[in-house]
A and B are shown apart, each in its own frame.
Chain A
Amino acid sequence: MRVMAQMGMVMNLDKCIGCHTCSVTCKQAWTNRAGTEYVWFNNVETRPGQGYPRRYEDQEQWKGGWQLNKKGRLVLKGGGRLKKLFGIFASPVQPELKDYYEPWTYDYKTLIDAPLGDDFPVARPKSLITGEDTKISWSANWDDDLGGAPEMGHLDPIVEKVRRESEDKIKFAFEQTFMFYLPRICEHCLNPSCMASCPSGAIYKRVEDGIVLVDQDKCRGWRQCITGCPYKKIYFNHKTGKAEKCTFCYPRVEIGLPTVCSETCVGRLRYLGLFLYDADRVTDAAAVTDVTDLYESQMDVLLDPNDPEVAAAALDQGIPSDWLDAARKSPVYALAKVYKVALPLHPEYRTMPMVWYVPPLSPIVDLLSEQGHDAEDNGNLFGAIDALRIPVEYLAELFTAGDTDKITEVLRKLAAMRAYMRGITMGQKPDPSIPAAVGMTPGNMYEMYRLMAIAKYDERYVIPKAHVEQAHDLEEMGCSVDFEGGPGMYEDSPFGEASGRPTPVAVENFYALKDRQTSDTPAGEQSLRGRVNLLNWDGNGSPVGSFSEKRDQPRAAPPSPADLRPPTDGGAL
């Protein structure tokens, strides 16, 4: 057993409202440079839809990921080592810019510079590639919210597949059936095919946290990784001639901050934490014969951090004990392996992806409520999950390699949780038969509800800091945490707020951010002595003096958390 730690992410798709905030903040942080105009390390796709780049899931076309050869051994779908080398002069299968989209900007200057005339000046779209006028005809989320679905919906490779398998049952009802959002980042796979495809060996997996990175100095631009990645999450920077990819925001994660996409997620649907896995078993697990067994074999690779044998082996192999603690508290492990509600995206690519998804129940709930049913009744929900074949089959193609039983199991759990908690919230007697119907105890179910519905920042993001002697040098040269009294330095200076030496900006950001994200009081309440700093106000509470007093009677107090106490049936975890 070779225990290794892996940073993982879980996204709860029911909470995604498709606002693209994660994409935008990620782009601002990482890909707002020349050469990466078309690159979105994080993108949000509307499903059903073609995705970005278009139809990336059609591996018969794009040849990403792994497959089994005749002898049952794992080989790259794009071809073996020799074939890759012979194809190096012109990558035989590679998405072109038109498969992503041609990035553009607008000629805003005309709006100001145009001479006086009868017509209003227009900011024309200009291609960021050629600099010429361009016609905008596609983008990273052109089919957002099912835009153009009647014409293009059938181009979704999964729709194609589901249709093929169920013939005309869904032929026309399809477009009205359901919709959900799928935010995607690099999967930071345990068995990455991009890495295996790289002729230079420039892509590597970090031993400490499993983050997959491209060594920009070693990359020579052979472009094989782009073909190799079935999720098409490696991009070619056409200015530098190097491959670039999602970094899991490693500079942030190293100091215990969540990734930018997680941090800025409006729906708070992302969870970050550690997995422990057995690195020796990865290849075998990825090579099981039946694709529908891949989910199970991937689960088997994950190790239980509470198992003393695993803990001993982990310590033995140099995983620090605070990392073990973090692994025990890991929300992603809980969602994936304990509650078994998070599923890997496309396990059939055999890359062992480490970004997991809680599948959305909303397509089913929406449909039920549209038809006038009580969409939170467990009987209705269970019935609908069994009856609504199309959404279930579609989700199965995404998350369980087509196995509808597994996805049904997960959806039933989510439905049960919804119905069970609805009962409690409405003051009814908890119905233990609901959790029992999905093989859970009431206590278990309540814990799962807590994690999925009301987990605080610290519970959603359990990120152990990197162990380095110079951790304080992470953000700024020569800036140290013990600057003027260390972590306490954020407090008042002797002669007022701005006195003393200027605070290194990184330290200020780090502590201000942490302070703001983890406290229940308005930011800077103490340090500003009651004064209001609207720039730092995070909407948490209302700073004194910033709003006029309410004239009308006070609103009814919200239900206190005590009302949501777990049932006392002794069903603790």
Chain B
Amino acid sequence: MWDVLLWGILPYVMVAILISGTIWRYRYDQFGWTTRSSQLYESRLLRIGSPIFHFGFLAVIAGHFFGLVIPMSWTLFFGMSQDFYHLNALLVGGVAGVCTLGGIVILIYRRRKTGPVFMATTTNDKMMYIVLTAAIVLGLWTTLASVFSGEHGHNYRETVSPWFRSLFILQPDIAAMAAAPFSFHIHTLVGMILFVVWPFTRLVHAFTAPLHYLFRPYIVYRSRDQEPGQIRPVRRGWAPIGTQDRTRDKR
């Protein structure tokens, strides 16, 4: 019963919220769609932490893709033994995971300890950091657990991965996922929560990664709006247009 709910229904709920939430925010909150960079306040720690975290995270995503999407039979077919794969995943995945965790620890430390940066941190940001950090920590735990639990540890490519792929053909292999150990369950669950909150946090900036910069012309010409000065109707959006002035008599 719980298994059906968690591994049969929740994934689809998550996808629905992720997609519809992103579309909604893209339509209604272009102005709030930004990295909200705090580099203006503090640069030294950011220059160390941010690239470590981001590049680590990109490597983690690549690793997840490799582990979840590509079936074990394919890698075996190309002559990659399970042992070799496992070692590789542990080494590369471990390094990427540690980088990501180290990066985010630096960034959170910076955020807490630098006055202006902490002041610019919203409740939304704090919730997001909790979920994001939890997902990273739990992910590393699954990796470490598989190192310490015997010869090969748990082979998630026989449980989690088939379940993941089965979701896309709308026939979730709930039994496979249910067979995975607890560490994988909790990591997957927190991961799904992360994707649910994703469209409603500053994480959306990842969806507009500016890859088109590589192809666009340097100089952009654009015609003036044909109806200048027409004040846009105030739409209900994610955040009110403009910013609230800092309350100055907080003292």
Contact = CB atoms under 8 A, between A and B. Distances in A.
B125 to A, nearest CB: 12
B220 A240 contact: no
Contacts of A468: 224, 226-228
Q: Which of B51, B53, B222 has the most CB of A within 10 A?
A: B222
B37 A204 contact: no
Contact of B210 (A85, A91, A105, A204): A85
B38 interface: yes
Interface residues of B, number: 53
A81 B213 contact: yes
Contact of B218 (A196, A217, A241): A196
A131 interface: yes
Contacts of B244: 34
B152 interface: no
Interface stretch (A342-350, A375-383, A450-458, A472-480): A472-480
Contacts of B36: 221, 241
B55 A89 contact: yes
Contact of A81 (B30, B31, B53, B214): B214
B245 A34 contact: yes
Nearest to B225: A468
Chain A interface size, as a band, is: 35 or more
A203 B220 contact: yes
A84 B213 contact: yes
B43 A94 contact: yes
Interface stretch (A205-213, A353-361, A439-447): A205-213
A207 B220 CA distance: 9
Contact of B205 (A198, A201, A221, A466): A221
B214 A218 contact: no
A206 B227 contact: no
Nearest to A473: B229
B222 A89 contact: no
Given A96-B43, A238-B120, A90 B51 contact: yes
Interface in B169-226: 205, 208, 210-214, 216, 218-224, 226
B115 A217 contact: no
A369 interface: no
B22 interface: no
Interface in A129-151: 129-132
B119 interface: yes
B20 interface: no
A246 B46 CA distance: 28
Contacts of A88: 210
B35 A222 contact: yes
B220 A97 contact: no
A90 B50 contact: yes
B46 A199 contact: no
Contact of B223 (A208, A219, A220): A208
A39 to B, nearest CB: 11
B242 interface: yes
Contacts of A82: 214
Contacts of B53: 89
A253 to B, nearest CB: 11
Given A130-B119, A473-B227, A35 B43 contact: no
A97 B36 CA distance: 15
B213 to A, nearest CB: 4
Interface string A181-199: 0000000000110011011
9 contacts: A33-B242, A85-B210, A97-B41, A205-B220, A206-B222, A218-B30, A254-B229, A466-B228, A468-B224
